[in-house]
Each structure stands twice: as structure tokens, then as C-alpha cells.
Amino acid sequence: MDIARPELKERKRRRQLLMGACGLVALAAITLGLARLEPAAPMVERETLWTGTVERGEMVRQVRGNGSLVPERIVLVQAETEGRVDQIVVLPGAAVTADTVILELSNVELEQLVFDLEWQMKASLAGMKQLEVQLESERLTQESSIASIQARYTQAQLEAEADIELAESGLVPRLTMKRSMASAEELGRQLEIERKRLLISKDSADAQLEVKKADMAKLEASLSLKRRQLNSLHVRAGIDGVLQQIGDTVSLQVGQRIGPSSTLAKIVQPEKLKAEIKIAETQARDVQIGQRAEIDTRNGVIAGVVSRVDPSVVGGTVTVDVRLEGQLPRGARPDLSVDGMIELERLDDVLFVRRPVNGQANSTIGLFRINQDQGEAVRLQVELGRASVSTIEISQGLDLGDEVILSDMSQWDEYQRLRLR
């Protein structure tokens, strides 16, 4: 017969409750520990990373830009008058001299105008000679009249003197003497008036000749202008160089009519080129005239000096002119695409490293420093200073000899540590 033992059941139930409570506490502790654990560091292939080592020494600050070679001197040949293209004598690419005829134009109205002005000039010259002859004839007539009056005046004076002597002797009446004296005085006054008229006629003749000469000078200037315009229909280069273009934006064609001031041709001197480099406006603030530069034509590198910095910003860039020094490499020609590197300054005894991706001057970024012994990389906050094209100054956060990852690590932003293999 079994004997009931209720205390055993109670003891067993308590032991089960205690074990369940311990299990719950252990589960909670494990869960809390796992929650506090950092995520496992991901594994990254070392060969896929671009790295650099912090160095100390001289750092050359440079800025880079793209551009093209352009002639230092470009001459645009423009039309002085309207005309029609009759002949294209020289094609683009040909070497020309200052007197080389590039185009032949025609203008029938201008030719007729020059013809009319030439005949007007001849008529004016004939009129000038006729006026000179007329004025000379009037002068001689005036002088002849003065000579006649002079003779009569002299005779009247002699008669008056004779009558005065005779009147004093009582041989002639005093009235006759007075008449002789009055006649001589009247002729004297006429003589004086005629002499004044002669002087005035000379001034009048000079004035008429000056007016005629002014009209002729005006006509001659107009004729000279039209002759020059007519001669400009034989379009010449104007300088020694190479014909780069016929026309402006569109090449001219035979039979095409052009207006005054139309661009007929572009002449360049290919042996005198400069580089026009486009520098980003954020980097151009330190570019100054006189700084050294290097221009890469992809067929050689040419040394140069900054000669001009455009004061305006166009499309987010600043145009910088570089004067080239030394002989140009083969293949250098106008409009050739080039790369330019301008040296801003040299920094002595600074910490620097090759420029990381997205590394901007005077900023703070996170960089992974490589620990070779432990085969891992740890993220550090690094303060960057002045920047160059391929290097950047380290202000704080890294030491000499530290090796850092320079690649784009944005995909690992949530991790502070990486394992390398």
C-alpha cells in the first residue's frame, strides 16, 4: 500500500519554479550582453583599397584646369563696305603675308560713285583755275585804274602848282588857282580810295580761293575714302600668319553678299600662342599674375607664367591666361585642348598626404588608419588644411608615417573598424 507524501510534491514544484526563474534570468542576461556587443567588423580586400602614407616636408600647392591654346594675336579682317564675293583666292590653313589677297569682292554702285567723284574733282580743278584767272584779271583792271588816276593826279598837282605861282604874280585869277587845287585834291582822294579797294579786293580774292580750296579738299577727301573702300574690295590679310577662317560663324561662299563691318577672315600667328585655362572659382582665388605654370599638350609639357586672370566668373570657372616660354612641341596649334597646372605656393615642413577622395581644404573628415600588426583599419577624425591637386595638408589627427585609406569609404560609414585581408 502506497503512502501519500505531499511534501515531496511541494518540494518538486518549488525546484521546478526555481529552475525556471534561473533560466529566465540567464536568458535575459544573454540577451542584454548580445545587445551590447558591437557588430562584427566587415572584411575588406586590401588590394581593392587606395592608400597613402603621411609625410613631412615641402608641399607644393597647385591648381589644375582644362583649356586650349589660342593665338596671342588674332586679326579679324572686316569689310569696309558692302559687296559681293566674286572669288575666294586663299583657303583656310594657308600661310599668308600682309599683302596676300584673300578675297575678291565687287560693288558696282561704289565703282560708279568713284567715277562720278573723279569727274567732279576734275571739274572743280578747272573751276579753280578759272577763278584764279578771273581774280587776276580783276586785280589787273584795278591796278590799271589806279595807274590812270595816279597819272591824272600828278598832272593835276603840276597844274595846281603852276596856277599858284601865276596867281601870286597876278597872271591868273585866284579862282582858277583854287579850281586847280580842288581838282588835284579830288584826284588824290580817288587815288586813296582805289588803293583801299585794291587791298580789299585782294582779301576778297583770297577768301574766294580759300572757299574753293575747302570745297576741293572736301571732295578730295571723299574721293580718297571711296577709292580706299574700292581698293578694300581686294581683301588682304594685313599681317603675316596663317588664314584660320573665311567668314565669321559660317564660311563665305562665292556670290554671297556681305554688309559693312562683316567679318571676312581670321588671321592668326601660330608660332605665338598662349594657353587659356579654366580654373574652378573655388580654387582661383589664390591665382595671381606671375605664378609659374605647366601646360600639358599631350605631346609635351611647356613651362609658362600666368599673364592674366579674368576678373569675372563664367559658368563657375575663371579664365587664366598663361604665357608660354620656350619652344612649342610638335603639333601645338590654335584650339588644341590642353591641361594646365599652376603653382600657387610652396609650404615648408608640413605634414601632408595624398589627397583622399572627397577631401576638401580646411575641413574635417573621417579616415581609416591602417594597423598593420592587427590587420585592421580604425576610423579617425582628421582635420585637413591647405589643399593641392594631388596632396593635402594634415592639421590634426594623424602623425608622420601613418598609413590611411584614401579610397571612397562611404559604403562603410556605419562602421568604425574594418578587417583587412
Render pLDDT for 191-222 as a digit per residue (tens, 0 to 9).
Answer: 788 788 878 878 778 888 888 889 889 999 99
Evaluate if pTM is beyond 0.75: no
Q: Which pLDDT score, from 0 to 100, does residue 1 have?
A: 45
The C-alpha cell of 351 is what? 605634414
Q: Which pLDDT score, from 0 to 100, does residue 28 have?
A: 66
Q: Report the alpha-carbon angle 311-315-319, nearest 5.
A: 40
Strand partners, 366: 381
Q: Which pLDDT score, from 0 to 100, does residue 419 have?
A: 87
Ramachandran sector of residue 105 (left: φ over 0; alpha: ψ -120 to 50; beta: rest):
beta
Task: Tell me the H-state helices in 256-334.
Answer: none
Q: Report the alpha-carbon angle 327-329-330, nearest 5.
A: 125
Q: Which pLDDT score, from 0 to 100, does residue 9 have?
A: 63
Q: Which pLDDT score, from 0 to 100, does residue 384 have?
A: 93
Specify whether the CB–CB gap between 321 and 338 falls below 8 A: no
Rounded CA gap, 156 and 180, in Å? 7
Q: Which pLDDT score, from 0 to 100, does residue 139 have?
A: 82
Cβ atoms within 10 Å of 194's Cβ, excluding its own: 17
Alpha carbon separation from 180 to 161, 185, 200, 341 (Å, rounded) = 8, 9, 31, 111
> Going residue by residue through the chain (421 aa), what tens digit of pLDDT does each one get?
455 556 656 666 667 667 777 777 766 666 665 445 455 678 888 888 889 999 999 999 999 999 999 988 888 899 988 999 999 999 988 989 999 999 999 999 999 999 999 999 999 889 888 888 888 887 888 878 878 878 887 887 887 777 777 777 777 787 777 777 787 788 778 878 878 887 887 877 888 888 888 988 999 999 999 999 999 999 999 888 889 889 888 888 898 998 888 889 999 887 788 999 999 988 888 899 999 999 998 888 999 999 999 999 999 999 999 999 878 888 888 889 999 999 999 999 999 999 998 888 889 999 999 987 778 989 999 999 998 888 999 999 999 999 999 998 888 888 888 888 7
Rounded CA gap, 209 and 134, in Å? 11
